[in-house]
Amino acid sequence: MSRPSTLGEFIIEKQSEFQYAEGELSRLFNSIRLAAKVVNHEVNKAGLVDILGNANTENIQGEDQQKLDIYANEKFIQTLINRNIVCGIASEEEDDFIAVNSQNNAHSNKYVVLMDPLDGSSNIDVNSSVGTIFSIYRRVTPVGGPVTIDDFLQKGRQQVAAGYVIYGTSTMIVYTTGKGVNGFTLNPAIGTFYLSHPQMKFPEKGGIYSVNEGNYIHFPQGVKDYIKYCQKEEEDRPYTSRYIGSLVSDFHRNLIKGGIYLYPSTSKNPKGKLRLLYECNPIAFLAEQAGGKSSDGFTDTLDIQPTSLHERVPFYCGNTGMMQTLEGFLQRYG
List the x/- string, 210-229, binding to ligand AHG by CB under 6 A. --x-----------------
Using the rule CB under 6 A, is 116 a contact of ligand AHG? yes
Q: What is the 3-state secondary structure (H, E, C) of 204-269?
A: CCCCEEECCHHHHHHCCHHHHHHHHHHHCCECCECCEECCCCCHHHHHHHHHHHCEEEEECCCCCC
Q: What angle do CA 180, 186, 187 make, to 5 degrees?
A: 140
Residues 80, 113: contact at Cβ < 8 Å?
yes
CA dist 240 → 138, 202, 209, 226, 244 (Å): 40, 16, 6, 14, 13
CA dist 257 → 118, 260, 281, 306, 309 (Å): 24, 10, 21, 31, 32
Using the rule CB under 6 A, is 245 a contact of ligand AHG? yes
- Binding to ligand AHG in span 291-310, by CB under 6 A: none
Based on CB atoms, which residue is closest to ligand AHG, 119 or 288?
119
Number of residues that bind Mn ion (CB under 5 A): 4
For the chain, how many helices (H) and strands (E)? 7, 15
Based on CB atoms, which residue is closest to Mn ion, 92 or 288?
92
Q: What share of the chain is helix, strand, coil (3-state, %, to 5)?
A: 35, 25, 40
Q: Measured from the CB of residue 261, what is the shortest distance to ligand AHG in angstroms?
A: 8
Q: Measured from the CB of residue 65, what is the shortest distance to ligand AHG in angstroms?
A: 9
Q: Measured from the CB of residue 285, what is the shortest distance to ligand AHG in angstroms?
A: 17
Interface with Mn ion (CB under 5 A), residue from 90, 119, 163, 285? 119
Q: Measured from the CB of residue 114, what is the shortest distance to ligand AHG in angstroms?
A: 13
Scanning 119-127, 153-161, 232-240, 308-316 for contacts with Mn ion by CB under 5 A, the matching segment is 119-127
Using the rule CB under 6 A, is 246 a contact of ligand AHG? yes
Nearest to 175 by CA among 1, 294, 25: 25
Residues 162, 281: contact at Cβ < 8 Å?
yes
Interface with ligand AHG (CB under 6 A), residue from 139, 253, 273, 293? 273
d(CA 174, CA 162): 9
d(CA 289, CA 233): 32
Kindly report the backbone phi and psi dihedral angles of residue 126, in degrees, each rounded to the nearest multiple of 5, phi listed first.
Answer: -115, 20
Scanning 112-120, 142-150, 168-176, 289-297 for contacts with ligand AHG by CB under 6 A, the matching segment is 112-120
Pick what 212 binds: ligand AHG, Mn ion, none; C-beta below 5 to 8 Å, kind-dependent: ligand AHG
Pick what 101 binds: ligand AHG, Mn ion, none; C-beta below 5 to 8 Å, kind-dependent: none
Q: Measured from the CB of residue 231, what is the shortest distance to ligand AHG in angstroms?
A: 19
- Binding to Mn ion in span 89-118, by CB under 5 A: 92, 116, 118
Based on CB atoms, which residue is closest to Mn ion, 134 or 226?
134
Based on CB atoms, which residue is closest to ligand AHG, 24 or 64?
64
Based on CB atoms, which residue is closest to ligand AHG, 153 or 244?
244
Count Cβ atoms below 10 Å from residue 308 Cβ, excluding itself. 11
Secondary structure of residue 118 in the 3-state scheme: strand
Peptide bond into 238 cis (omega under 30): yes
Interface with ligand AHG (CB under 6 A), residue from 112, 114, 119, 255? 119
List contacts with ligand AHG (CB under 6 A): 92, 116, 119-121, 212, 245-247, 273
The residues of the shown chain that bind Mn ion, judged by CB under 5 A, are: 92, 116, 118-119
